[in-house]
């Protein structure tokens, strides 16, 4: 049986983790960049460059290992750029898995309000300065169907 790979996609505060947890409850393995960073003691973004590179490498390695085991994986990360999505599509394709992007479409004001309410208490409560959160939202590259399998879900 072929494993499945879902890439949760959306700016900070869009609701990616909420959707990813639903898949996790259905038996998928959820791998999260925020969980990895939080485990190292980081409660705010952006991460220092060296930490971001280490966490990104760890995330890729974990996803590859899980797919190699035939596990269904949901990657809980922003996938803010097409290049980042393409990287994981290649990772899946190398293992015979077609990655599906699930884009959580959330109005700007809703996503920014959610981020503003964060306290850094847990991995999915990552602190972002308001200007950083706005820049992340505004710089987000929305996925399009020409990239490959895409599902758009409402995030608020």
Query: What's the whole-model pTM score?
Result: 0.92
Task: Identify the pLDDT of residue 41.
Answer: 82
70-124: pLDDT as tens digits: 999 999 999 999 999 999 999 999 999 999 999 999 999 999 999 998 877 776 6
Q: How far apart are CA 111 and CA 79, in angstroms?
A: 16
46-82: pLDDT as tens digits: 888 998 899 999 999 999 999 999 999 999 999 999 9
**Total domain count, the chain:** 1
CATH number of the structural domain spanning residue 61: 3.40.50.300
The tokens for 82 are: 């097409």
The parent domain of residue 116 ranges over 5-154
Task: Quote the strand ranges of the chain, DSSP E.
Answer: 5-9, 29-32, 73-76, 99-105, 150-154
- Mean pLDDT is lowest, of 1-5, 20-24, 151-155, for 1-5
User: 1 pLDDT band (50/70/90 cuts)?
Assistant: low
3-state helix, strand, coil in the chain (%, to 5): 45, 15, 40
């Amino acid at each position: 049986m072929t494993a499945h790979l879902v890439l949760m996609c959306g700016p900070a505060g869009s609701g990616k983790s909420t959707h990813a947890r639903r898949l996790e409850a259905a038996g998928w393995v959820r791998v999260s960049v925020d969980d990895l960073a939080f485990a190292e003691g980081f409660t705010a973004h952006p991460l220092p460059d060296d930490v971001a590179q280490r966490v990104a490498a760890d995330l890729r390695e974990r996803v590859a290992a899980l797919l190699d085991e035939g596990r269904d994986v949901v990657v809980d990360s922003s996938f803010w750029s097409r290049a980042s999505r393409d990287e994981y599509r290649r990772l899946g394709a190398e293992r015979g898995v077609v990655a599906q992007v699930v884009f959580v479409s959330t109005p700007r004001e809703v996503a920014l309000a959610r981020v503003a309410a964060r306290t850094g208490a847990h991995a999915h409560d990552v602190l972002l300065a308001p200007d950083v959160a706005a820049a992340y939202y505004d710089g987000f590259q929305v996925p399009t169907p020409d990239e490959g399998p895409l599902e758009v879900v409402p995030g608020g």
